Structure 1
Amino acid sequence: MSELLKPLIPQRADPFIYKHTDGYYYFTASVPAYDRIELRRAKTIAELATAPTVDAWHKPDTGPYSELLWAPEIHFNKDPESGESAWYVYFAAAPSREIKFDLFQHRMYCVRNKNANPLEGEWEFMGQIDSGIDTFCLDATTFTHKGVLYYLWAQKEVDIRGNSNLYIAPMKTPWQLAGEPVMLSKPEFEWEIRGFWVNEGPSILKRNGKIFISYSASATDENYAMGLLWADENADLLNPASWTKSQEPVLCSDIPNKIFGPGHNSFTYGEDGDTVLLVYHARTYTEIEGDPLWNPDRHTFVKPLKWDAKGMPVFGKPSMID
């Protein structure tokens, strides 16, 4: 029997949950004011809902990264150069209107905390993460595979129609790239170009001899949906030919059960250490006044991911545990 889901955390979009070796789950997301990095931690997923929050870092009042702080992700990364590990939060932010009148000129940034508990200690601003392409970019994530730290993100390219494509590059340090960006996906299918031509919000999952990249597409209203790329774990991840792209969305609005625009997901693991959990945001209504970006009611949902006989993930419906 299917169980209808309720939001785990209300009014938190672009949710990211990281399970660390210290036994804690760490949660961050976009807050409705888009003005800070908020963190919380708990021993279980359920306890994240009521865990105390800490404002780890605030945007400055003016300057190149002083508006619309979007989609923070917290990672515990090892620096390939120094060998030291620390906490890093990756996020996108826009310049103030005194610099550029158009607010939607986001670039990617990083802050670091060397404390064992990232809810304590000092966060150090590490600067902009320069992809070498000076255009709108956002939604960065990182992952390590076969000893290489990779950066994966969304960015606009002036010669390609649309708002953003997906790119990957190796990293020299957790805040610097070591190679040229490689494009893995661009909006091309009908379900990726509703309202806006978008591929964004990539997230990595390793399982069953494959590396999966989930991502989100279309406008951030009820048209928002998730797609999937995958490659063999032994393939060259910097070769676009290594990746296969699903022609159909893997998660989209469930109109009968009133869950709309699921997307911008992350993956984490259950308390058993093995069950893969899908973390995503969605809305419970469509009657949005004005720009969907400013509507605060994108809520964090969590559900177990299923698998088919071929080892491929089955996302099911965003409204229920299937």
Structure 2
Amino acid sequence: MTDSVDVNPIVLQRADPCVLRHDGQYYFTGSHPLYDRVVLRRAERLEDLQAAEEVTIWERHAEGPMSHLIWAPEIHRVDGKWYVYFAAAPDEEITFDAQDTDDTFNHRIFVLENASEDPFTGEWVERGQVDTGWETFALDATSLVHRGEQYLIWAQQAFDVQGHSNIYIARMANPWTLATSAVLLTKPEYDWEIEGFWVNEGPSVLVRDGRVFLTYSGAATGIEYAMGLLTADADADLLDPASWTKSAEPVFVSDPEAGQYGPGHNSFTELADGTPVLVYHARTYTEITGDPLWDPNRHARAQVLPFDADGNPVWGTPVPDTRPTPTSVEVLAPSGEAR
């Protein structure tokens, strides 16, 4: 089989996509539009993920802190085991009043572990909430294993920082426990990051040619949603904010000519030959009826990420669709067919 990125979207109606290439297979997860489960599928080619069987590996609790709005699962391999990081909220509505902040969600970060070689057959064990050091809205955790150390990078609200979420990093003692205090890497500050909402979220990391590229998404989740970039030397202390350089402008934005709007919450994977691939979600229309949270048509997409002669990513813009996409708010079956 030829390994390429020729068909988009790669999975319909799955926002916040995470793709991990392992032993010749692409493992995919993302936010289910009903926000009530963690799903997983795999295929030998990215273009085959849409037709791949989707398995529910975990479902929300009936009550308690893991019972509501299951968001943005990511799958990772650490020390020979599988881990899924995701955000969940309690069933009751909780709001914050400190510093006259807007009402917000009450998510926290949780971890699942599977020691089996095959994550579709092994048992997924709940390792509980990641204690990030303070109890506020927290989500979008990603894992980085670098120079033999595991780091967690995530988004969280802080009442001493204006806005809804910032990006933090910490070194880990094990895949569900931090070994160091959280370090603030970026907060919403540029005009493009505060359009609609003051947001830095959805971090993802690519290490290449001696540099660490940390992407994140900012603004509200409509057409204004876009991706930003932090860069560090691979030999630098990643827990030192001074090691990171933040780009003032977004690196990946909506493209009306391609019919793609609000690209973001990305991850990175690679082709069989090691070519980097950018994975992200986007919508194909701008007019949303009702609450955007319940519009299911953020589709998972992928495209090759080229680099220039100086080793800098050439981000480009979202490529046009080659696969039909729905425009109704009906939630499709995993195969992409109407239920």
Taking structure 2 as the reference length, the TM-score comes to 0.89
Partner of 2:305 in structure 1? 305
After superposition, the C-alpha distances for 1:58-94 in whole angstroms (9 at most, x for unaligned) are 011111110000000001112xxxxxx3111000000
- Whose strand proportion is higher, 1 or 2? 1
250-259 or 277-286, larger mean C-alpha shift: 250-259
After superposition, the C-alpha distances for 1:188-238 in whole angstroms (9 at most, x for unaligned) are 111100000000000000112100001000000111000000000110100
Q: Does 1:286 pair with 2:280?
A: no
Partner of 2:144 in structure 1? 143
| CA distance in 2: counterparts of 1:69 and 1:13, whole angstroms | 12
| CA distance in 2: counterparts of 1:280 and 1:257, whole angstroms | 15
Partner of 2:330 in structure 1? none
| CA distance in 1: counterparts of 2:310 and 2:159, whole angstroms | 38
311-320 or 174-183, larger mean C-alpha shift: 311-320
Aligned 1:231-310 pairs, distance under 5 A: 231-272=232-273, 274-310=274-310
| CA distance in 1: counterparts of 2:226 and 2:275, whole angstroms | 23
Identity %: 54
Partner of 1:119 in structure 2? 120
| Aligned-residue offset at 1:251 | 0.3
| Aligned-residue offset at 1:136 | 0.3
Deviant stretches of 4+, over 3 Å: 3-6, 99-103
After superposition, the C-alpha distances for 1:139-187 in whole angstroms (9 at most, x for unaligned) are 0000111111000000000011101000000000100000100000001
Partner of 2:91 in structure 1? 96
| Aligned-residue offset at 1:103 | 7.3
> 5+ residue gaps in structure 1?
79-84
Partner-residue secondary structure (3-state), 1:90: strand
| CA distance in 2: counterparts of 1:74 and 1:61, whole angstroms | 24
Aligned 1:15-164 pairs, distance under 5 A: 15-20=17-22, 22-78=23-79, 85-97=80-92, 100=94, 104-164=105-165
- Contact kept in structure 2, 1:44 and 1:271, CA below 8 Å: no
| Aligned-residue offset at 1:6 | 3.2
> 5+ residue gaps in structure 2?
96-102, 322-339
| CA distance in 1: counterparts of 2:26 and 2:194, whole angstroms | 34
| Aligned-residue offset at 1:119 | 1.1
Aligned 1:163-174 pairs, distance under 5 A: 163-174=164-175
- Contact kept in structure 1, 2:269 and 2:277, CA below 8 Å: yes
Taking structure 1 as the reference length, the TM-score comes to 0.93
| CA distance in 2: counterparts of 1:302 and 1:29, whole angstroms | 13
Letter of the 1:88 partner, please give it: Y
- Contact kept in structure 1, 2:6 and 2:47, CA below 8 Å: no
Partner of 2:337 in structure 1? none
After superposition, the C-alpha distances for 1:262-321 in whole angstroms (9 at most, x for unaligned) are 00000000122x110000000000110122111100001110001122211111011259
Residues 249 and 176 (structure 1), Cα distance of their counterparts in 2 relative to 1, 3 Å cut: same
For these two proteins, the number of residue pairs brought into alignment is 310
